């Protein structure tokens, strides 16, 4: 595997379900990011991790819970989501937090909340 991978690629969940999104980067980077991409809206930064420490939480509702067990892996735990949370969730990485101008993105997880 190369670059940034995300699983699953597609996810349909009910409002009462709990699920997790997984991201893995094979680039040796130290910073990882979660973004939300909705139709007709710009990419929204959700969380930033630098060396496994959360350094940015962009006013994201608590029903989204990130986890970064090591510098290569990032998870987004989801529970009691709302239909408006349906979107493409993108993971990205960069060499470190200061090099956010050179981010590498995964293919995304297309989430549908029913």
Partner 1 sequence: QKEVEQDPGPLSVPEGAIVSLNCTYSNSAFQYFMWYRQYSRKGPELLMYTYSSGNKEDGRFTAQVDKSSKYISLFIRDSQPSDSATYLCAMSAFTNAGKSTFGDGTTLTVKP
Chain residues binding partner 1 by CB under 8 A are 4, 6, 31, 33, 40-43, 45, 48, 50, 55-56, 90, 92, 97-98, 100-108, 110
- Which helix (H) or strand (E) segment holds residue 61: the answer is none
Rounded CA-CA distance 13/22 in Å is 16
Query: Measured from the CB of residue 106, what is the shortest distance to partner 1 in angstroms?
Result: 5
Query: Measured from the CB of residue 89, what is the shortest distance to partner 1 in angstroms?
Result: 10
- Pick between residue 66 and residue 108 the one whose CB is nearest to partner 1: 108
- Pick between residue 43 and residue 60 the one whose CB is nearest to partner 1: 43
Q: Is the peptide bond before 34 cis (omega within 30 degrees of 0)?
A: no
CA angle 98, 74, 25 (to 5 degrees): 70
Q: What torsion, rounded to 10 degrees, do the Cα atoms 74, 72, 51, 36 define? A: -30
Query: Measured from the CB of residue 107, what is the shortest distance to partner 1 in angstroms?
Result: 5
- Pick between residue 11 and residue 90 the one whose CB is nearest to partner 1: 90
């Amino acid at each position: 595997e190369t670059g940034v991978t995300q699983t699953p690629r597609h996810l349909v969940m009910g409002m009462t379900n709990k699920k997790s999104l997984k991201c893995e980067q094979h680039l040796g980077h130290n910073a990882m990011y979660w973004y939300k991409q909705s139709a007709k809206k710009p990419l929204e930064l959700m969380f930033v991790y630098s060396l496994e420490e959360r350094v940015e939480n962009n006013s994201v509702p608590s029903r989204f819970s990130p986890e970064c067990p090591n510098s290569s892996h990032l998870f987004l735990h989801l529970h009691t989501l709302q239909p408006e949370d349906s979107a493409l969730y993108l993971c990205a990485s960069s060499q470190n937090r200061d090099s956010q101008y050179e981010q590498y993105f995964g293919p995304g997880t297309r989430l549908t909340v029913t």
